[in-house]
Amino acid sequence: MGISPAGEVPSAEAAAALGRWVAEGLHGSLGWMARSMEKRRSTALVLPGVRSVVAVAVHYPAVGTGDVARYARGDDYHRVLGRRLAELAAFIRAEAGGEAVARWYVDTGPVLERDLAARSGLGWVGKNSMLIHPARGSWSLLGEVLTTVPLEPDAPVPDHCGSCTRCLEACPTGAIVAPHRLDARRCISYLTIEHRGPVPPEWREPLGLHLFGCDVCQEVCPFNGPGAAAGDPALGERPELPTPSLTGVLGLDRPRYLEAFRGSAMKRARLEGLRRNAALALGNAGDPRAVGPLARALAASAEAVVRGAAAWALGRLGGRAARFALERARRDDPDTEVRREAEEGLERSG
């Protein structure tokens, strides 16, 4: 936890960076980022009379492979951090008494959380744009309390990236177009979680096996080595939510999806998004055993976005059964786009 005076957040540098990011369209289809820009650039518009920002970072266990981003393997952090931030806000109000106002946010509020955290001494914003603590690393989630109460500030932490460029080099889609500049439109996290509709063809292969989110630019960061924070058990992997198999996710129906992902941040991608991602990852995995499940998804899914992704994957896997399924879809699918995906799949499969 760290504190900054509200007059100093967000920093002029971060406010300007946000302006450039939106002006250049790097936010893609995140229209709400553009709509809430003025508030994000001024905490006083979020809470009139704000005097201090209390920023918090909670680290999660960095376990497993990155097919499912590690932050999303446990209980939804919005709820875990939200409960604690509500208590913290109540505590500040009770201690200050009188007319004191304290309002909390985690992720969804119109605030630049990384900048608020950095200015409050919780770390620096790295070239991968993550908030990084010099000893604890970046496997963390952020939240904050904005309050009208004046509180003693903490000192910011200096930037430790130095000449390192590992994250820029490792990003599978080249989404970190320059230090601190992320083109969301090509970020796997955006493509697999936020983006609705078909994934643009040029990013389907680079997506690799990612089902939900991406951790590559954190995996390679030297500050996330063995000395990094162990992580809060409340955000640890849920035993009842085992790493789902790709074919299992592709074949999910709504009742089973609602049951399996109850209380999970993975619901952000929605059922059709997860099934689309699973189809693309199966195409990239190159295992011919996926042809059967993909052919069933192409023939029977209600959502065109899932059928289109299945057609792409079948084209990539090839073989007689895949071509048979693609030929049928090219002829019979009710959706023009899916018929086109099937046509292209047939061309690619030779």
CA dihedral 236, 241, 246, 247 (to 10 degrees): 170
Site string for ligand B12, 81-110 (x = CB under 6 A): -------------------------xx---
Nearer to ligand SF4, 26 or 88 (CB): 26
Nearer to ligand B12, 211 or 329 (CB): 211
Considering the rule CB under 6 A, would residue 30 count as an interface residue with ligand B12?
yes
* Residues belonging to the chain: 350
From CA 24, how far away is CA 30, in angstroms rounded? 13
Considering the rule CB under 6 A, would residue 114 count as an interface residue with ligand SF4?
no
Residues 5-24 touching ligand B12, rule: CB under 6 A, are 13-14, 17-18, 21
* Residue 277, CA atoms < 13 Å, CB-side half-sphere: 28
Considering the rule CB under 6 A, would residue 127 count as an interface residue with ligand SF4?
yes
- Select from 319, 320, 326, 325 the least CA-distant residue to 345: 326
Considering the rule CB under 6 A, would residue 188 count as an interface residue with ligand SF4?
yes
Site string for ligand B12, 119-138 (x = CB under 6 A): ------x--xxxx------x
Asked whether 123 and 137 are in contact (CB, 8 A), the reply is no
Nearer to ligand SF4, 5 or 179 (CB): 179
Which stretches does DSSP call E strand in the chain? 2-5, 52-59, 102-105, 124-125, 131-132, 140-147, 176-178, 181-182
Nearer to ligand B12, 12 or 302 (CB): 12
Residues 210-239 touching ligand SF4, rule: CB under 6 A, are 214, 216-217, 220-223
Q: Terminus-to-terminus CA distance in the chain, angstroms?
A: 57
Binds ligand B12 (CB under 6 A): choice among 80, 92, 214, 342: 214
What tokens does 190 get? 């955006």
Q: Note if 154 is an active site residue.
A: no
Closest approach of ligand B12 to the CB of residue 277, in Å:
12
Please state, in angstroms and as integers, the Cα–Cα distance from residue 109 to each residue in 10, 176, 244, following that order: 14, 24, 30
Nearer to ligand B12, 211 or 338 (CB): 211
Annotated catalytic residue within 107, 154, 159, 335: 107
Q: Are strands 176-178 and 140-147 parallel, antiparallel or unpaired?
A: unpaired
Closest approach of ligand SF4 to the CB of residue 84, in Å:
26
Q: Is the peptide bond before 10 cis (omega within 30 degrees of 0)?
A: yes
Q: Are strands 140-147 and 102-105 parallel, antiparallel or unpaired?
A: antiparallel
Considering the rule CB under 6 A, would residue 142 count as an interface residue with ligand B12?
yes
| Beta pairing partners, 30 | none
Q: Which positions touch ligand SF4 (CB under 6 A)?
A: 126-128, 161, 164-167, 171-173, 175-176, 182, 187-189, 214, 216-217, 220-223
Binding residues for ligand B12, rule: CB under 6 A, are: 13-14, 17-18, 21, 30, 33, 69, 71, 106-107, 111-115, 125, 128-131, 138, 140-143, 159, 180, 182, 184, 187, 189-190, 194, 213-215, 217
